[in-house]
A and B are shown apart, each in its own frame.
Chain A
């Protein structure tokens, strides 16, 4: 038995390492990849739509006008991601940039997200910017941090830096902002559920869930 013991130990460790890695991978896999192919749109700006996550024919659309440097937007980011995971194909998330002038790095952060979007990683950069908001918001060189995030999420950093300064990216942010202004958006986050603005006092996970449930009920009779 002792003869086989080292083989058994090594085999056990191999199984635990591979199995543990696989479990961790499935738990941490980025949520955009959990949406079935053909049902996720990561960059549909050409059609006038913001960055969207979820099926185009979902009964409920949650549209957010957000500023990456706005703390309440950052606090709502993960709960909104959770809503998408919970409602799956019943909910479509749309994000539009609305960088506020009083936030020093907000516009550059929006450019960073759009530049990541050009390489198909808008949502990963969106999540990174919100999660690391406290760090880059107070940094003297936020661009260097954005480039580091870009490298970490697997972007071509040289292309990312060029894209951040490109007219295409700036135009996209401007277009989002114009759209927001035309809808009367003044603050962030401003959230619409099926084109109905949510009262800013109700911007918390519980009331957002209630608004989605109500929108789902309304959508059912007509479908």
Chain B
């Protein structure tokens, strides 16, 4: 009986792990959404205080790579973070299809992050602290995706 109880507890703990991880992912996405929204607004208003004396920041955010077809990359990032947040929230509540959508969204964000890091390192030779912060969050999210298979 005691052995059976231990086994049940272990199963319950295992089943809680995805919920906890997707909740953490949703929280990371919220931080990313806040940062991307802030950067989008600053970009649209042309508010220069955002870079606070950082030359590299201006070089990156003022470059032609900071916009895609006239849309600030930060704006696209906000949409991506919101999508990832939505899927992570639904995955945390046990919606299995949301796991796959979350994994796909993070994969796309991961590839975009690699491209933006390449642009900063090899084309602009300047790094923006906001971009690096966002990259760190996406790497964390990618870690969560890898640790939680989208399908059982």
Contact = CB atoms under 8 A, between A and B. Distances in A.
Q: Do A and B come from one complex?
A: yes
Contact of A29 (B33, B45, B82, B85): B45
B55 A148 contact: yes
Interface string A179-208: 000000000000000000000000000000
A162 interface: no
A131 B49 contact: yes
B53 A134 contact: yes
Nearest to A33: B45
A132 B48 CA distance: 8
Contacts of A157: 62, 64
Interface in A147-167: 147-154, 157
Contact of B41 (A9, A28, A124, A154): A28
A25 B44 contact: yes
Contacts of B45: 25, 28-30
Contacts of B95: 6
Contact of A6 (B37, B49, B64, B90): B90
A5 interface: yes
B78 A152 contact: no
Majority DSSP secondary structure for residues of B touching A: helix
Interface residues of B, number: 34
20 contacts: A6-B90, A9-B89, A17-B33, A20-B37, A24-B37, A24-B38, A25-B45, A29-B45, A124-B48, A127-B48, A131-B48, A148-B55, A148-B62, A149-B58, A151-B62, A151-B63, A151-B64, A152-B58, A152-B62, A154-B46
Interface of A: 2, 5-6, 9-10, 13-14, 17, 20-21, 24-25, 28-30, 121, 124, 127-128, 131-132, 134-135, 139, 144-145, 147-154, 157
